[in-house]
Amino acid sequence: MTMVRFENGTDTIRKWDDVFETLSAEPRRQLIVSLMDVSPDETVPLPERAINPDVPEDPEMLRMELYHRHLPFLADRGFVEWESDPLVASRGPRFEEVAVVFEALYAHADELPESLVLGCQRLEEERQALVSN
């Protein structure tokens, strides 16, 4: 029984590490949110859907970063699938493991510290919607 708990615990720790490491980069966060906004079988065009609208990045530089760093990272963990021509991404088999973090944040946006909400367009909108209801 102890060995099973250890193996399950180790697996769970690895999965949470994958989620938080994924969320540690802005283009990856933007891409996950963009994929949440479309149906599960749709793709999103890149780099457009990985750009933060409040802090736009050079699209060509971001395209290179996505292609060489962020998309392989996300695909290796099963959060997204992607194609290079045209550069698009879709939900991977483990997508829900990372999307659920955003769903929880949005559901409780009115409880988050203002310092984490101001400047984040989506959280500001979610907070306003919760406060208005």
Could you tell me which residues come within 8 angstroms of residue 59 by beta carbon, excluding any fewer than 6 positions away? Answer: 47, 48, 51
| Phi, psi dihedral angles at 51 (to 5 degrees) | -95, 130
| Each residue's pLDDT tens digit, 69-110 | 999 999 999 999 999 999 999 999 999 999 999 999 999 888
CATH code: domain of residue 20: 1.10.10.10
CA distance 91 to 24: 19
- Domain range for 81: 2-132
CA distance 49 to 37: 11
More confident residue, 68 or 131: 68
Report how many domains make up the chain. 1
The reported pTM is 0.87
